[in-house]
Chain A
């Protein structure tokens, strides 16, 4: 097993920069996801690491071994990486077993018993019946193809596995189950993994470390919870999840905004001084409270609004609410109760936890 290190990787198609100085450290045996919109350069980064493209300039290290940069160039087939492509890229002319055995050393491939036991082992690892060994790729479903592709990538026991949007071609149900199965296999094998995806939920649930990429740069990298709860800028915040942003004025770690006084944490100590700025909340931080107790204290802090739209998702409901205040801001919140209010209902709102504070002009 080995760590993966990327240093100062640039890439461009002619005058169009695609990667602008990527630095990335992936600890031995951990799982990192790079998430970003299409065209942000995440697939190019993966292809640079795999050796299908070369950086201009930049270095990639697998463990202690430099594979590109500083005049070094190790071609893809000598890098010892596992690679799972978007659509599986199974060889259509080979059976499942032959696909999986493809990367095994020749002598192991030739000895039938040796390769067969390894193939059975790998099929079991990815939860496929050993009977599938004799099938052709076109006789498998999309999810099964991806599992075979993963088994094929793991067969030569690589230290690092690269996954290029491997679940995006699958339907929702299959996607969640395949993703969980793959994560389990990778964690169980202790393989250093890099996943690129445009699906933030996938990145957050799959990885130990999430990098957010935008226009060829990593804007933030850290544990999923940190990226989601403490984003470094509003664009990143909006990309990794739904965001409620309201203008406000900060004083003593409390921001006055349309939702009243909200305790906040600033992006940096320097940003914590008073002044105008933006409050960022996640929809699940705002909740409905029961009919207001008509006490003098609470009345001052009470925030009311009218439900404008209800989107029912089954497990929860997104409510769009127009606030009952001079600016009549519109916010959305995630309501997890069993009974959601109807459109036009007047509701009382409360904020849970601390919000994120971005000072104006920062």
Chain B
């Protein structure tokens, strides 16, 4: 920004650049970093845009807060402190603990096998491990339920959600493993550490951001999951809220459950903030990192192959076999249903709108969070995570209520549902954009400025091309999420608009598994090219 800078302008956003001062311990360094870069504070337009996005993302939370206050203390206490809530809390916490742990272990192990060992058919496994992203969790659940109707409880829910969600950890970890500088590991080896010690002391710490990002995503998805858990009758706060809303629209009991659920999300996010730290991950230095040497599996190869095949069988095989079986049983008649084509078209339209809107509004927030670190930008970034922490049903009802009261014309409109999608899926775009912006060193922006480009043109000529893959990946993630979004769509879709997910749900809820199968297949088919694209992008972002 062309700025009339005064010496008093000390409290300006930091840039997160390397400091040239000698390090004097953690506290001093952090402080120095905050002071750095007074010459180029955050552009005002970007700051305003980010602020607007953060404010919008607080609408659902504000709704819950206002409703809670309106309920009154005594009634709120009576609604929260009761055995039913304790039971839901146990269910929810148990599921989150089990599935987050399992997805992290599975995701890191899968990434390590594919990126760091001589496992045969690595390219195939790389594709297959990302595949579950293309299958909505409620379709996975449908697959298991229709094959094994007895599946239930924490075991069933943990199993289904782990295999549905582990790619959230696998993909970022694989991307980081691929571009880790092997020189660090070699240094550690030469300092006398064995392969296992190097893995634990050098490799895993560098995976921290990726693992935490993935785990947070898994955790938030679990808290908001409705379809997959409802299908096997595992009750969590989200399914209980949906039940309450269906019986009493938006009564106080449901709002109180939502308030507890949101508190859980806040807890997750706080843990993430505390664990994430403030490291800078842009790679400095000239040249491209060498690919790391691969670990020889040797006699463990058959075992590793078996494990990889088992994971793929459970994660992809079960839903595919199930859908295939129902399609075969249902015959050609399933494909002539008149609802099919309109559902495809409206799903595509909503997906494209939401992808465009979501990445557009995520960009300023992600930019500030990486390039102008400070309490303000971190707060705004966290606001956007908060929105997605609120289950889709609550976001949807908040939007319905607010629209009816204050913005009647947008009620039942495409705009409203697209905005709801944008809030729900902002973190998906954010994770991708953040990673991309962290990969674009600010030194390049300085070089471009010195060559005479104005800040806006620097963005267009240097930053944007460098982060374009991340933007595309973020948009693709959002598109895929919208194609398979169920809960908010059930409530917010304009009258007459049916999507693949809502059609699937109404059929499978009526235990008409065969009629649901074409929609399941179409959702997967729409998602596969996007998953493929994401995989290619993640390779490209790693500089291959």
Report A-chain residues with C-beta under 8 Å of the C-beta of B36.
13, 53
B32 close to chain A: CB less than 8 A: yes
- Mark A76-88 against chain B: 1 for CB-CB distance below 8 A, else 0: 1111111101011
**Bound-complex Cα distance A149 to B287 (A):** 14
Query: Would A54 and B5 count as touching, CB distance under 8 A?
Result: yes
Residues of A within 8 A of B466 (CB): 91-93
Assess whether B452 is in contact with A52, with CB atoms less than 8 Å apart. Answer: no
Whether A89 contacts B444 by the Cβ 8 Å rule is: yes
B20-61: CB near A (< 8 Å → 1, else 0) gives 111000000001100111111000000000000000000000
State A87–B446 Cα separation when bound (angstroms): 13
B39 and A52 form a contact (CB under 8 A): yes
Assembled-state Cα–Cα distance A53/B37 (Å): 6
Docked pose: A138 CA to B447 CA in angstroms = 17
Tally of contact residues, A, Cβ under 8 A: 46
With A52-B446, A71-B4 given, is the CB distance from A142 to B452 under 8 Å? no
Contact B462 A87 (CB under 8 A): no
**Pair B35/A13 contact, Cβ less than 8 Å:** yes
- B21 touching A82, Cβ below 8 Å: no
Contact check: which of A43, A56, A92, A103 meets B451 at CB < 8 Å?
A103
In the complex, A13 Cα to B37 Cα: how many Å?
A: 10
B454 touches A93 (CB 8 A): no
- Please determine whether A85 and B443 come into contact, CB atoms closer than 8 angstroms: yes
B34 nearest CB across to chain A (Å): 8
Residues of A close to B4: CB separation below 8 A: 71, 73
Query: Is there an interface contact between A91 and B448, defined as CB atoms closer than 8 Å?
Result: yes
B20-A87 in contact (CB<8A): no
Shortest A118–chain B CB gap in Å is 14
A115 CB to closest chain B CB (Å) equals 14
B479 to nearest A CB, angstroms?
A: 24
- Within 8 Å by CB of A87, from B10, B35, B285, B453, lies B285
Given A13-B32, A87-B286, A102:B39 Cβ within 8 A: no
B193 within 8 A of A: no
The residues of A that contact B444 with a CB separation of less than 8 Å are 89, 91-92
Residue of A nearest to B285 (CB): A87
Whether the Cβ atoms of B38 and A50 lie closer than 8 Å is no
B52 to chain A, nearest CB (A): 26
Q: Does A39 contact B (CB under 8 A)?
A: yes
User: B454: nearest residue on chain A (CB-CB)?
Assistant: A77
Q: Are A82 and B448 closer than 8 Å at their CB atoms? A: no
Decide if A282 is an interface residue (CB 8 Å cutoff): no
Q: Which residue of A lies closest to B464 (CB)?
A: A93
A14 interface hit (Cβ, 8 Å):
yes
| A76:B284 contact, CB within 8 angstroms | no
Q: Which residues of B contact A152 (CB under 8 A)?
A: 447, 451
How many angstroms from the CA of A169 to the CA of B286 in the assembled complex?
8
B452 contact set on A, CB distance < 8 A: 77-78, 80, 103, 156
Is A44 an interface position by the 8 A CB rule?
Answer: yes
Also in contact, A38 and B20, with CB within 8 A (given A56-B7, A85-B443, A88-B286): yes
Q: Which residues of B contact A16 (CB under 8 A)?
A: 21, 32
In the assembled complex, the CB of B281 is this many whole angstroms from the nearest CB of chain A, namely 16
A57 CB-CB contact with B under 8 Å:
yes
A152 CB to nearest B CB, Å? 7
B443 engages A89 (CB within 8 Å): yes
Taking CB atoms and an 8 Å cut-off, the chain A residues in 136-155 that contact chain B are 138, 142, 145, 149, 152-153, 155
B25 to A: closest C-beta gap in Å: 13
- Cα A82 to Cα B5 in complex, Å, equals 23
Tell me the interface secondary structure of chain B in the complex: loop
Q: Is B449's beta carbon under 8 Å from chain A?
A: yes
**At the interface, yes or no: B455 with Cβ under 8 Å from chain A?**
yes
- The distance in angstroms between the C-alpha atoms of A93 and B36, with both chains bound, is 28
Query: Within the assembled complex, what's the spacing in Å between the Cα atoms of A88 and B31?
Result: 28
**A331 on the interface (CB 8 Å rule)?**
no
Is B465's beta carbon under 8 Å from chain A?
Answer: yes
Which of A54, A77, A88 is in CB contact (< 8 Å) with B450?
A77
By CB atoms of chain B within 10 A, which of A82, A92, A149, A153 has the most?
A: A92
Cβ of B461 within 8 Å of any chain A Cβ, yes or no, is: yes
The answer on a CB contact under 8 Å between B39 and A51 is: yes
B192 interfacial by beta-carbon distance below 8 Å? no
Nearest chain A CB to B225 CB, angstrom units: 39
On chain A, the residues within 8 Å of B35 by CB distance are 13-14
Interface size class of B (residues with CB under 8 A): 35 or more
Assembly CA distance A50 to B447 (angstroms): 10
Do A142 and B287 touch across chains, with their CB atoms under 8 A apart? Answer: yes
Given A13-B36, A16-B21: A89 and B285 within 8 A (CB)? no
Taking a contact as CB atoms under 8 Å apart, the answer to whether A102 and B21 are in contact is no
Contact B7 A73 (CB under 8 A): no
Q: Are A73 and B450 in contact (CB under 8 A)?
A: no
Does B149 sit within 8 A of A, measured CB to CB? no
- B284 A87 Cβ-Cβ under 8 A: yes
Q: Is A292 an interface residue (CB 8 A)?
A: no
Tell me if A13 and B21 are in contact (CB < 8 A): yes
Contact B32 A83 (CB under 8 A): no
The answer to whether B287 and A76 touch across the interface, beta carbons within 8 angstroms, is no
Inter-subunit contact A89/B447 (CB<8 Å): yes
Known: A16-B32, A85-B446. A156 touches B39 (CB 8 A): no
Q: Check B451 against A156 for contact (C-beta < 8 Å).
A: yes
Chain B residues 420 to 467 lying within 8 A of chain A, measured CB to CB, are: 441, 443-444, 446-455, 458, 461-462, 465-466
Q: How far does the alpha carbon of A224 sit from the alpha carbon of B466 in the complex, in Å?
A: 42
Check A227 for interface membership: any CB of B closer than 8 A.
Answer: no
Complex: how many Å from CA A38 to CA B19?
11
Interface centre among A87, A91, A145 (most CB of B within 10 A): A91
Residues of B within 8 A of A80 (CB): 452
Q: Is there contact, CB below 8 Å, between A14 and B446?
A: no
Name, among B38, B449, B453, the residue most crowded by chain A CB atoms within 10 Å (CB to CB): B449
Measured between beta carbons, the chain B residues less than 8 angstroms from A286 are none
Residue A96, interface by CB 8 Å: no
Flag if B447 contacts A145 (CB, 8 Å): no
Give the residue name and chain of the A residue nearest to B449 (CB).
A76
Residues from chain B with Cβ under 8 Å of A274 in the complex: none
Q: In whole angstroms, what is the CA distance A103 to B39 when docked?
A: 21
Answer yes or no: B274 CB below 8 A from chain A CBs. Answer: no
Of all chain A residues, the one with the shortest Cβ separation from B453 is: A77
- Verify A75–B31 contact, CB threshold 8 A: no
Complex contacts, A91 vs chain B, CB 8 Å: 444, 447-448, 462, 466
Chain A hits for B7, CB < 8 A: 56-57
* Chain A hits for B443, CB < 8 A: 85, 87, 89
Q: Report the Cα distance A152→B372, complex, angstroms.
A: 28
17 extra interface residue pairs, beta carbon distance < 8 Å, beyond A39-B22, A169-B286:
A18-B21, A39-B21, A51-B39, A53-B39, A54-B38, A54-B39, A57-B7, A73-B5, A75-B2, A77-B452, A83-B450, A85-B447, A89-B441, A102-B461, A103-B452, A138-B543, A153-B450
Interface residues of B (CB under 8 A from A): 1-5, 7, 10, 19-22, 31-32, 35-40, 284-288, 441, 443-444, 446-455, 458, 461-462, 465-466, 543
Residues of A that sit less than 8 Å from B by CB: 13-14, 16, 18, 38-39, 43-44, 47, 50-54, 56-57, 71, 73, 75-83, 85, 87-89, 91-93, 102-103, 138, 142, 145, 149, 152-153, 155-156, 162, 169
Closest 6 CB pairs of A and B: A103-B451, A83-B450, A76-B449, A89-B447, A53-B39, A13-B35
14 pairs from A and B in contact (CB 8 Å cutoff): A38-B22, A50-B446, A52-B446, A53-B36, A73-B3, A76-B446, A77-B449, A85-B443, A89-B447, A93-B465, A102-B453, A103-B452, A152-B447, A169-B286
